[in-house]
Structure 1
Amino acid sequence: MKIRIASVCVALLLAGTLHAQSVEPLERIAAVVDEDVILQSELDRAVRNIVAQYAGRQNQLPPRAVLERQVLERLVLVKLQTARAAETGVRVSDPELDMAIGNIAQQNNLSPDQLRQQLARDGMSFDDFRSSLRDEMLIQRLRQRFAQSRISVSDAEVDAAMSAQAGGAQYQLAHILVALPEGATPEQIATGQQKIDGIKSLLDRGEMEFGAAAVRYSDSPNALEGGSLGWRSLDEIPVAFANAIRTMSPGDVIGPIRGPSGFQLLQLVDTREGAPAGAGGTVTQYSARHILVRPAEGPGGDGEAKARIDTLRARIAGGADFQEVAREHSDDTVSKAEGGDLGWFTQDEFGPEFGGQVSVLEDGQVSAPFKTQAGWHIVQRVATRQTSAGDENRRAQVREAIGQRKLEDEWDRYVREMRGEAYVDLRVGNEQAAGDGG
């Protein structure tokens, strides 16, 4: 029995990543990542975990040296993202981590002691498991903060997507990426084109299945999962592919297509009808605007943010226009230019703390300062309305789908920038890559 965890990179994180200080200092270093290191033991554990998942299908894996470099690159990205989380004040407390571990045990119908015993049978120490889970939670929270600050979906985008939606079908997809660096030279582009054409030729001749080709050749972080992109609606598929998807049959492959990350091949694995939207009843929507003050890093940052929001609240109570104050002082880059306007939303759309404040206000009333994971807020409720629950559920699903598509595109670009700006020295096999942006 293997422990199941809902995780965006479970195969990697369950490898039991160790921190450098917990291992004898003479152990070989597999990579230097800025001021941190990845030990050879970490890499070996991660590779063993991948190989174990492909038991009976090892022929689908690339040669050992290639597999090591793929896994090492994923470990590098984990290091960079957890470091960025720490730099930006993202934290996971011990009680939060304990709660997450308890939930995992419950999902696997185990007690905490049984979870420890099962992990030991799977060859993983509890401390390694705990450290890996903390890393995963940090990355998830960093993504959430990124989404809150950079991703917005307008009502017009939702209206357009709903008008274009055809029958609510969903598509199971997989892809192969041949990555190109930022500012790729003509020679690099030509080499990438030659590689993706060669992969496509293998697929066309039936010499290799798509998933096996993804594992062996794709540069995408999900290569070791056969390039799987999961189930998606048309709203979650890049426009470059969405129109072609409608006319494809399961097993068909389109591409290569040149995108911001490089050359891609996309396979339609399967199709299904989407879940029907909710029906019946009404739901309350709120129109509101808010001002956000994010705490600065370091000691005293939260207190300074609280003092700032108190001052802004006092200005508004003294007659200052809420929208003007928001334009001048809000740290929410998405709503700031609109005077803090958040549009129409349901109570829990921005989290229970935010929704709880809005729901008890009268139209026109401004809340006292309150805190959420994003920082300190004041919110002004503008209006309320009742709308069909079925229509609202459908709109919420479409909004979420568009937001996820945008987040994936922007997050991938953000991580590539993070990787390009980092000092990374890879020390596996006979190859070495060193230097800033290496």
Structure 2
Amino acid sequence: MKTKLIDRLRPLMLGAVLLSGAAHAAPQPLDRVVAIVDNDVVMQSQLDQRVREVQQTIAKRGGGVPPAGALEQQVLERLIVENLQLQIGERSGIRITDEELNQAVGTIAQRNGMSPEQFRAALAHDGLSYDDARDQIKREMIISRVRQRRVAERIQVSEQEVKNYLNSDMGKMQMSEEYRLANILIPTPEGANSEAIQAAARQVGDVYQQLKQGADFGQMAIARSRSENALEGGEMGWRQAGQLPPDFAKMLSNMAVGDITQPIRIPNGFIILKLEEKRGGSQSVLRDEVHVRHILIKPSEIRSDAATEQLAERLYDRIKSGENFGELAKSFSEDPGSALNGGDLNWVDPNSLVPEFREQMANAQQGEVTRPFRTQYGWHVLEVLGRRATDSTDKAREQQAMNVLRNRKYDEELQTWLRQIRDEAYVEIKLPGADQAAQ
């Protein structure tokens, strides 16, 4: 470990020696280490950049922007935990290909109603380089996959748990409401003594009084909260009532939008919740379904993409000339799940399909055969056989309950896992004025 760290720092040390001997050279600011994190480091330049990004995000929300010094420790802690997850990803062999990264960047641009060029321009307007944005997206994708492997894949929800939840009085009540929440967390150390608990209680009491006197909740979360989402103003997003402890759900059901709770004692500290929005109701769920069949032709080592497209075009021409779609699918389609059925995918939910397939299907008339088009799987020819709307209220409720139970378990497991990897890591903070921490 020491050798790796010295190897990382040697270029910085060498740079300092060279600059000290250059009597006539203009002084250049040197980057420096602000935290040692296991086998890696966090640099001042990383910290400064992330602080600027947080300040810009706060400014866009219309709140007062805290000075950089007030954010540094909070941002540094976030970078340390991110760094640990990235190191886990590297050791686990998690890689993001250029194709995956390009697709993710394109999806983000599309969700914001922008073309790739407009997305670049928007980043430049905000003072962010396109390469830095791509790098941050890549980091987030790696972290997401690490969490998927280490946390999400361990979570299991049985059918019996879903049934028990739906049949319980609490489940019936909680399934009808959703809350958009924000939080401020004041933690206590594991195995904290009464003195530490009382100190945390005084701190959260001070935060609560400032909120009651009109302090901005988001600003207080950024400045005082130790929750993972503190830098987002404590925003937790939408939560089903069933994802929350029953006491929380009961409390929130009687609150008005904009209200905050009194400090609540939880196992790892104290928390204050703010109810940003609420929604819910028992309404029938109608789901659009499409009956579709297709022929899939895949490129391979012996067949180029251009040759694959040409084969798909020839099959399209043969279908338009009157040959049977199903028989051609049985002979040529390389989709093992549908080829033997004449390419029939049966009734499908469009949202379960890749965007290119979904778009072609949406634009095709019933009985129409589309021209060949490409997806990540290869070249397709499809035919829409029918459309319908089905009442999937019961299925939707079961899926909703499954998501609630999984999300509840995931949130609990994620926070436990993040604390665990942080506690087990060697961390030495070198930020001036910050407490030193090491393990």
TM-score category, normalised to shorter length: 0.5 to 0.7
Match of 1:178 among 170, 186, 209: 186
Distance in 1, Cα, partners of 2:77 & 2:416: 16
Is the partner of 1:165 in helix, strand or coil?
helix
Which structure 1 residue ranges, 5 or more long, are not aligned? 1-19, 284-345, 353-386
Which letter does structure 1 place at the counterpart of 2:395? Answer: E
| TM superposition shift of 1:175 | 1.1
Distance in 1, Cα, partners of 2:257 & 2:62: 25
Distance in 2, Cα, partners of 1:181 & 1:347: 50
Which letter does structure 1 place at the counterpart of 2:428? Answer: D
1:243 counterpart = 2:246: no
- Mapping of 1:215-254 within 5 angstroms? 215-254=222-261
CA displacement, residues 268-316 of structure 1 (integer Å, 9 cap, x when unaligned): 2222225845247999xxxxxxxxxxxxxxxxxxxxxxxxxxxxxxxxx
Query: Measured at CA, do residues 172 and 193 of structure 1 come closer, stay the same or move farther in structure 2, by a change above 3 Å?
Result: same
| TM superposition shift of 1:172 | 1.8
Match of 1:421 among 415, 421, 424: 424
Distance in 2, Cα, partners of 1:131 & 1:262: 35
- When structure 1 is superposed on structure 2, of 80-89 and 117-126 the one drifting more is 117-126
Q: Is the 8 A contact 1:172 1:230 kept in 2?
A: yes
Match of 1:272 among 258, 275, 279: 279
Partner of 2:43: 39
Which letter does structure 1 place at the counterpart of 2:243? Answer: E
- Mapping of 1:188-227 within 5 angstroms? 188-204=196-212, 206-227=213-234
| TM superposition shift of 1:179 | 1.3
1:52 counterpart = 2:80: no
| TM superposition shift of 1:123 | 2.4
| TM superposition shift of 1:111 | 4.2
Q: Is the 8 A contact 1:177 1:265 kept in 2?
A: yes
- Mapping of 1:38-437 within 5 angstroms? 38-55=42-59, 60-62=64-66, 64-163=68-167, 164-166=171-173, 168-204=176-212, 206-273=213-280, 276-279=283-286, 389-436=392-439
| TM superposition shift of 1:170 | 1.5
| TM superposition shift of 1:148 | 4.3
CA displacement, residues 293-343 of structure 1 (integer Å, 9 cap, x when unaligned): xxxxxxxxxxxxxxxxxxxxxxxxxxxxxxxxxxxxxxxxxxxxxxxxxxx
| TM superposition shift of 1:235 | 1.3
TM-score calculated relative to the size of structure 2: 0.65
| TM superposition shift of 1:73 | 0.9
Q: Is the 8 A contact 2:184 2:230 kept in 1?
A: yes
| TM superposition shift of 1:173 | 1.4
Distance in 1, Cα, partners of 2:281 & 2:272: 24
Query: Measured at CA, do residues 281 and 161 of structure 1 come closer, stay the same or move farther in structure 2, by a change above 3 Å?
Result: farther
Is the partner of 1:78 in helix, strand or coil?
helix
Distance in 1, Cα, partners of 2:247 & 2:166: 18
Distance in 1, Cα, partners of 2:66 & 2:122: 30
Is the partner of 1:254 in helix, strand or coil?
coil
Q: Is the 8 A contact 2:427 2:438 kept in 1?
A: yes
- When structure 1 is superposed on structure 2, of 210-219 and 390-399 the one drifting more is 210-219
Which structure 2 residue ranges, 5 or more long, are not aligned? 1-7, 16-29, 291-346, 354-389
| TM superposition shift of 1:257 | 2.1
Query: Measured at CA, do residues 177 and 61 of structure 1 come closer, stay the same or move farther in structure 2, by a change above 3 Å?
Result: farther
Q: Is the 8 A contact 2:204 2:263 kept in 1?
A: yes
Is the partner of 1:54 in helix, strand or coil?
helix
Is the partner of 2:261 in helix, strand or coil?
strand
Q: Is the 8 A contact 1:29 1:37 kept in 2?
A: yes
Distance in 2, Cα, partners of 1:56 & 1:229: 18
Equivalenced residue count is 318
Query: Measured at CA, do residues 133 and 275 of structure 1 come closer, stay the same or move farther in structure 2, by a change above 3 Å?
Result: farther
CA displacement, residues 345-398 of structure 1 (integer Å, 9 cap, x when unaligned): x999xx99xxxxxxxxxxxxxxxxxxxxxxxxxxxxxxxxxx973211111011
Distance in 2, Cα, partners of 1:225 & 1:153: 30
State percent identity of aligned pairs: 38
- When structure 1 is superposed on structure 2, of 406-415 and 125-134 the one drifting more is 125-134
Which letter does structure 1 place at the counterpart of 2:44? Answer: Q
| TM superposition shift of 1:402 | 1.5
Is the partner of 1:178 in helix, strand or coil?
strand
Query: Measured at CA, do residues 55 and 111 of structure 1 come closer, stay the same or move farther in structure 2, by a change above 3 Å?
Result: closer
Distance in 1, Cα, partners of 2:94 & 2:60: 40
Distance in 2, Cα, partners of 1:257 & 1:227: 16
Distance in 2, Cα, partners of 1:147 & 1:41: 31
CA displacement, residues 201-249 of structure 1 (integer Å, 9 cap, x when unaligned): 2233x24233332222111121222211122221122334122222222
| TM superposition shift of 1:421 | 0.8
TM-score calculated relative to the size of structure 1: 0.65
Which structure's CA Rg is the greater one? 2
Distance in 2, Cα, partners of 1:98 & 1:144: 21
Q: Is the 8 A contact 2:59 2:65 kept in 1?
A: no
